[in-house]
Every structure is written in C-alpha cells, then in structure tokens.
Amino acid sequence: MGWMSAMKRVLGQLLLGMFIGVFCLSLTANVSAEESNVIVVGVISPKDGSTSVLQGESHEESIRLAFKHLGPLQAGDLQIKLELSAWNDRGIPEKAEEAALKLVREEHVVAILGPVNSGSTKAMLNELREQQIELPVISSLSTAPELTHADRRDKNFFRLIFDDAGRMGQYATFIKQGKSKEGEQNFLFLYEDNAYGEGLKDSLKDRFYTPNIVKRSWREISNPNCSDNTEGFIDYEIFRNGQCFSDDFLALLKNSNINNIVLLGDTTGSLSLVNGFETSALNLKADYFFVGSNKRLFDEAPPGSLTIGDPVLDYLRAPTAELSKEWKKLFDDFEERAKKDRADFVMTAYEAAMVLHSALRTVLSSQPNLPPVDVLRSKLLQALESETFDSLEPWRTISFSQGKLDQAPTAPIYRITRGISREDEVHEHPWVNMSVQQFSPWLEAPIAVELKGHLVEAGKIGVYRVDEVTNREYLVTQRAVKFSAGQAVEKFHLLTPGLYRFKMTDLPFYPALTETRVGFSKNYLISAIAALVGALLAVSHASQAGSARFMRVLTGIATGLLLTFGSLYGQQLSSWIPFPSFGDEPVINAMLTGLIGGLVGPYMVANLLLAWAGRLLGSRKLGQGMNTK
C-alpha cells in the first residue's frame, strides 16, 4: 500500500505542476496579447529648459485631450490601445533629432506629432531621411514655408497650419489698411535668430506695403557681454532690464524716426524686448506688433498693441448656438485637464491628433489584425496623402497636397487692451451639418440622413458604397436637397448590407466622415421563430399529409416575415398601406407580426394563394393535392 500512496503523491505533484505551467502560459499569452494591441504615437514639444515652454506644454496637453475624447480603434476583433510617448526637445534641433531616433527605434512609434519649432522640424526630417526612416511627421505649429516647398518638402511631412507666407500676407494687408492713412511710417522688424523668426521676417517683408523697413535679428542687437549662448540658444530674458542692448542698436533707435516695432519671435523674447525698451529711458513712441495669441502675451503686451495669432476656436463667433456650446465645452475640458488658460489651447495640435486617429481608423478597418509597425507607417503615409479628414471647424475639411493643407484655418488678429478684441473681419462660411446612425439594421427602416444647412438653401447629397478591403468609394446614388428653415431629412433605401458613406457633393459638410453600416438584424430571426411557432400551432390539429403540412408551415413563416417587413420597413415606403404595427419597439413588432403571420398564413394566405394559382393555371389539382386527408 506504501507504493500506492507514493504514486498518488507523485501523480498529484505532476498534476499540480501541469496546472501551474498551464496557468503561467496563459498569463504569458495574455501579456503578449495585451502588448500586441498597443500603438504608440510620439509627441515632441519644447518644455523645461526652453523659452517656448508655455507653447510646448500646451501643444502636448491639447494632443492628450484629443486622444482622451477620441474613441477606441479596432483591427478585426481586436481592440487597439493608443499610447503617447512625449519627449522634450527644449526647442533645440539636435535634441529633436535625438528624440525622433529614440521614438522610432526604442518606442516603435507609428507617427510623430511635432515638433513645434520649424528649426527642430527641419533638422529632425533631415536626420530621418539620412537614416532612411519613413513615418508620418505631423506638425501643428511649424510654419516655415520651405517645409512644404515643392522642391524641398520631405515626403514624411504634413502641416496642420498655414505657413508664414500666408499668415504674414494677411498681417501685411491689415497693417496697410490701418497705417497708410496716418502718413509716412517707419518700421523696425526685430526677428528671432532661428528658422521661425527668419521665416516670419522674410514673409512679412516680401508682402509689406512700404520699403521704410529696418531689419535686425535679436542676436544683432544684444551686447555680447550679456549673451547667454548655452546649448545653442540665447535666453532673451537678458533684454528685460534694458541694459543689454548694443550701442549700435541704441544709436539706431535714437537717430531714426521709427514709430512701429514688429516683433517676430516667441512670446518670451518679444515681451522681454518691449520691457527692455520701456526701462531703458529711450522714451520710444512706437506701436507694437506681435505674433502669437497666448494668455501671457495678452496680459503683458502694451495696451493698444496688435498681434496675429495661431488658429483659434472663437466660440463667441461661432455661427450657431449649438457649435458655440460645443467649443466652449472643449475649452472647459482643456482648462480642467491642463490647468491652463483657454487662450493657450492649440487648436491645430488637437486637430493633428484627430487626423492621425482617423487615418489609423481607415487603415485598420481593412486589417484582420494589427499589422507590423513598418507596414502601419507606410499605410498611414498613403492614407494621409489621399484621404479627407474632419476639422474642428465644420465648414473646413482637412486634406493635404504635398504635405500642405488644402484649406488652411484663418489667423486671428487681436487688439490687446487689458482684455482683447478681434480686429479681423468675421467671415461667414456656408456649410452643412450631417448626421446618420452609425449602425442601421437591414430592412428595418430606410436610412435617414438629417441635414442642417448654414447659409445654404439647396445642395446635392451623394451615397457611396465602401469597399472595406481597399477603402475605395463607389457612388450609389445622388440627389438634390432643398432646405426648409435650414432643415432637411433625406431617406435612402439601401437594400444591400455593407458600409456606406454620405457626402455633400457641392458644399462643405461636417463631419467629413459620415457613414453607417447596414447589417443583418436579429429581429427577422425573432420573427421567423415566432412565425414557426404560430404555424406549428395552426397545423397541429389538421390531419393533412406531411408534405402539405410542411408547405403550409413555410407559408406561415413567409407570411410572418412579410408582415414584419411591413411593420419595420414598409410603413416608410407608403403612408396609405395599412401595415400592422405594435409600438416603436422592433423586437415586440417582430415577435407579434411573426406570430400572427404564422397563425394566419398556413390557411388564410395559403388558401388564397391556391385559389389564385388555380385560376391562373385553370386547374384545381394543386389545391386538391394539398387538401387530401
């Protein structure tokens, strides 16, 4: 008996070991599965150690807020988790290069959102090109024109904002309208010593209305003894005390008739320069022009100054109360999350996250599982080049031509008073708001598209069938739409299951991706089961042959399905046909109409069909055969 006890102990230990092994393997499999459904997105912003710390922090927080608001992604049956990996380049090009390589090689990111500074962006793109690394780089604040110049644009780069040429052209026109009536004006352009400042200076100079311009870089006007040129940049706070201007620059200010100073650079340096002018006893009587729109600039710039800002959602200028409420809620969420003022919200950074998320959604929709990182990067580049995406402004969609935004947002111009006021004109844009249910059960009702027209009276709406393998769209039908009091509802009878998209073909519309999936409904299955029960009850007391019973049961099921179709869908086809209905709940309608059809179909409908068939065929043999007892 001792050897039997020993055997039992050994077997027990083996079973325990096997159980533990299987358990550990399942844990490992679960971990692997969890790791396999993660997509990492890189974010590069200047933060600690940079003069652009405020802009960099707002850039990152705006992106994080967007990903918080955006829904999950799917690849087949796998739910995809998005993670952000944020790096601080401190506004230094070499740091941006280093951050990009680590994000690509160590974090295996599928795309990079940033950098903020044009100089960092150019350096990073050059490094990626030299390393033969291809992945989307989407910058929401890099405005240097050469980044999207036809001959110099990197194929990885996409810009979510206007370039300096467009914004400075708008600024030059506005300044001319205000200053050309005040007599002769002399301007001093002071620009930051980097790609951003130089790009602003060149773009404004080329479009300015007068040649009375003196140009100086911030480095040129500084006293070398004061400069702090550590790690590749000057801390321009040195200008704040007014003691670090060079003698040549002070002589220029005293001996010239400069009455307008244009500061072309980041907020910290621009405000330091102005503070230095006011504390240096120069007694300047000049108007100041800035670039930027953050809260610090609004709080510290001299009253009466003008500034041209980055794209902004001005909820006070929203064309509808609904849109104004939506934008205000977005600002409230930003303030709560980032602990910053709403003026620091970076609209284009939020949109960059929206665009990347939508491009990922498009790519993954045709994938049975998550593809390798290099494949995903390549497909994302293709999607960004060819697709159209939503923006936060419903009258404007986002698409790219050679990395450049086709419809750039407007640049706001503010008068700074100890409050601020918009000085640029309000432009009303025609657009249509569209909405459709994301899932439409097949043959339960026509697909209803609700439209709200803003400044439009008519338009054309198109329905496109989507090939989910290639994501190509095929026009199914197109029709004219007329708006009554700005409202319209268009119903479409789509009798084939699949994915459909709805678009205004002649007007801007929002959202740009309005789609519904027409899928099979469980309600017809419920109807068929109820009809089967009803039909079996109806024929249960008859003494007919088995084949006759079977045919009558099939007739009952068909009758039940037909009544269900009439109840769920047919009422939408014609208002004068008395289709049965039992309330608004599809399941109840399906169950009751199926049961009724099953009860009346085997005899009432079957006999009616037999009578018609007999008249058509001139024979009653078929009826006699089914009535054989």
- pLDDT greater than 50 at residue 141: yes
Q: Cα 290–237–412 angle (5° rounding)? A: 20
Residue type, 404: K
Nearest CA-CA partner of 404 in 168, 204, 142: 142
What average pLDDT score do residues 230-246 get? 74
What is the C-alpha to C-alpha distance for residues 45 and 358, in angstroms, rounded to an integer?
22
What is the C-alpha to C-alpha distance for residues 116 and 195, in angstroms, rounded to an integer?
12
Q: Which CATH number fits domain 431-519: 3.40.50.80, 3.40.800.20, 2.60.40.10, 2.40.50.140?
A: 2.60.40.10
What is the C-alpha to C-alpha distance for residues 357 and 268, in angstroms, rounded to an integer?
33
For residue range 40-61, list pLDDT tens digits in order: 999 999 987 666 777 889 999 9
Nearest-10 crossing angle of helices 586-600, 546-568: 150
What is the C-alpha to C-alpha distance for residues 579 and 564, in angstroms, rounded to an integer?
9
What is the C-alpha to C-alpha distance for residues 346 and 60, in angstroms, rounded to an integer?
9
Bigger pLDDT: 372 or 549?
Answer: 372
Nearest CA-CA partner of 480 in 496, 456, 454: 456
For residue range 475-510, list pLDDT tens digits in order: 999 999 999 999 999 999 998 999 999 999 999 998
Phi/psi at 452 (5° precision): -125, 115
Give the total residue count for the chain.
Answer: 629
Q: How far is CA 394 from the centre of its chain?
A: 12
What is the C-alpha to C-alpha distance for residues 405 and 427, in angstroms, rounded to an integer?
19
The DSSP 8-state label assigned to residue 603 in this structure reads: I
Q: Which two tokens stand for residue 196?
A: 């951003």
Mean pLDDT of the chain: 86
pLDDT value at residue 36: 66
CATH superfamily of 164-308: Response regulator (3.40.50.2300)
pLDDT value at residue 381: 96
Nearest CA-CA partner of 277 in 220, 237, 235, 239: 239
pLDDT value at residue 228: 56
To 10 degrees, the CA torsion angle through 534, 539, 541, 543? -170
Phi/psi at 475 (5° precision): -65, 125
pLDDT value at residue 566: 83
pLDDT band at 376 (very low <50, low <70, confident <90, very high): very high
Residues 6+ apart with CB under 8 A from 391: 351, 354, 397, 398, 407, 409, 512
Residue 228 and residue 218 in contact, taking contact as beta carbons nearer than 8 Å? no
Ranges of H-type helices in 155-301: 164-179, 195-207, 247-255, 267-279, 295-300
Q: Cα 48–86–156 angle (5° rounding)? A: 115
Residue identified by tokens 């100890």 is 418
- pLDDT greater than 90 at residue 105: yes
Q: Which two tokens stand for residue 54?
A: 């405020």
The DSSP 8-state label assigned to residue 317 in this structure reads: G
Q: Which two tokens stand for residue 225?
A: 């003894």
pLDDT value at residue 421: 87
Residues 6+ apart with CB under 8 A from 37: 75, 78, 79, 80, 81, 370
- Percent of the chain, pLDDT > 70? 89
Nearest CA-CA partner of 403 in 116, 43, 84, 152: 152
pLDDT band at 186 (very low <50, low <70, confident <90, very high): very high
Domain boundaries, the chain: 1-36, 37-161+319-398, 164-308, 431-519, 522-626
> What totals of helices (H) and strands (E) does the chain contain, helices first?
17, 24
Q: How far is CA 420 from the centre of its chain?
A: 29
pLDDT value at residue 31: 38
CB atoms within 10 A of CB 602: 29
How far is residue 507 from each of residues 137, 456, 481, 588, 594, measured CA to CA in Å? 30, 9, 11, 41, 44
How far is residue 621 from each of residues 164, 177, 546, 555, measured CA to CA in Å? 88, 95, 18, 19
For residue range 512-525, list pLDDT tens digits in order: 889 999 998 888 89
pLDDT value at residue 573: 59
Intrachain domains 37-161+319-398 and 431-519 with the same fold: no
Nearest CA-CA partner of 512 in 394, 406, 404: 394
H or E segment and range at residue 551: helix 546-568
pLDDT value at residue 577: 61
Phi/psi at 588 (5° precision): -65, -45
Residue type, 22: V
Q: Could you tell me which CATH class the domain 37-161+319-398 is placed in?
A: alpha beta
Q: Which two tokens stand for residue 62?
A: 């705006």
Total-model pTM: 0.76
Give the SS3 label for residue 493: coil
Nearest CA-CA partner of 360 in 32, 33, 80, 78: 80
3-state secondary structure 518-529: EECCHHHHHHHH
CB atoms within 10 A of CB 251: 10
Residue 551 and residue 626 in contact, taking contact as beta carbons nearer than 8 Å? yes
For residue range 319-347, list pLDDT tens digits in order: 889 899 999 999 999 999 998 888 899 99
